[in-house]
Amino acid sequence: MTTLNTKLQAVVFDWAGTTVDFGSRAPILAFMALFSDNKVDITIEEARAPMGLEKRDHIAAVLAMPRVAAAWKQAHGTEATVADIDRLYQDFIPYQLKSIPLCSALIPGAVEVFADIRSRGAKIGSNTGYASMMIGQLVKDAAEQGYEPDCMITASDVKYGRPYPEMLWKNLIELDVSDIKTVVKVDDTVVGIEEGLNGGCWTVGLAVSGNEVGLSYEEWSALPESEQTILKEKAYTKMRASGAHYVIDSIADLPAVLDAIEDRLAMSEKP
């Protein structure tokens, strides 16, 4: 006999741009510095385009962009090779280790949302495109601010990163979750939403706090409302096109969505 689950069992969060690092700036600082030091300057837009992928895959995706590929060939005399990608990834690690602590502040409202999730009896999972070797200081900094998820899975802990749902499923195995329809994946990237959809759970896209707008909280707050509206509309359009069940500004707006999902579960709805 199956049991009707109407309560959430777990919410699985991304890290940069979702729970910490408003604007998801740490990876961008690292990627831009890495490429610049390798004689190829890339734009913020080029650095952001593959965001959410495992970092080696991210580097390969940037190098595959026609403009970047041409610039690399001009600078180095030959097209980028697999060996180049491997070297860049190894070189990237210290850049990332340097930038992550600069951008480790929790996103405003996050602590209250974590308490809300706990009050529902649900567990908190997390995953990231960062490798495990990159995440130690960030996890420590987050804990000091009151964020200690029940599970932490990195891209280096699985065979396939996003959009494959392996990191998500590994969370659920470790959290003893029995029913995928009682799970919510929250992410600020399209590939992170695809991970949740491929895994079979509810998905919530964050339009403002993460990769799509790409501004720090201070930069965002300083913008005139008219400029915020333009950026929000663009970000919402992209996140909705990803197939996310819900799109909100930031993690601070999540409790109302969780209420709505629990109402739908009570009516036997599935993602």
Rounded distance between C-alpha atoms, residue 142 and residue 255, angstroms: 20
Which residue is listed with tokens 């649900």?
122
pLDDT digits (tens, 9 = 90+) for 235-270: 999 999 999 999 999 999 999 999 999 999 999 999
H-state helical runs in 15-109: 26-37, 44-48, 55-63, 66-76, 82-99
Q: What are the C-alpha distances in Å from 140 to residues 28, 133, 216?
A: 21, 13, 21
pLDDT digits (tens, 9 = 90+) for 128-187: 999 898 899 999 999 999 999 999 999 999 999 999 999 999 999 999 999 999 999 999
- What confidence score (pLDDT) does residue 2 get? 46
Would you state the structure tokens that stand for residue 3, as one six-digit string? 């049991």
Rounded distance between C-alpha atoms, residue 210 and residue 213, angstroms: 6
pLDDT digits (tens, 9 = 90+) for 89-139: 999 999 989 998 889 999 999 999 999 999 999 999 999 999 898 899 999
Question: Domain-by-domain residue ranges, the chain?
Answer: 10-24+104-266, 26-102
Q: How far is CA 246 from the centre of its chain?
A: 16
- What confidence score (pLDDT) does residue 101 get? 87
- Contacts of residue 76, Cβ cutoff 8 Å, sequence gap at least 6: 39, 84
Q: Any idea which fold 10-24+104-266 has? A: Rossmann fold (3.40.50)
Q: Tell me the pLDDT band of 1, cut-offs 50, 70 and 90.
A: very low
Residues acting as catalytic residues: 14, 55
26-102 is classed CATH 1.10.150.240: yes
CB 130 within 8 A of CB 17: no
User: Chain-wide mean pLDDT for the chain?
Assistant: 95
- What confidence score (pLDDT) does residue 5 get? 75
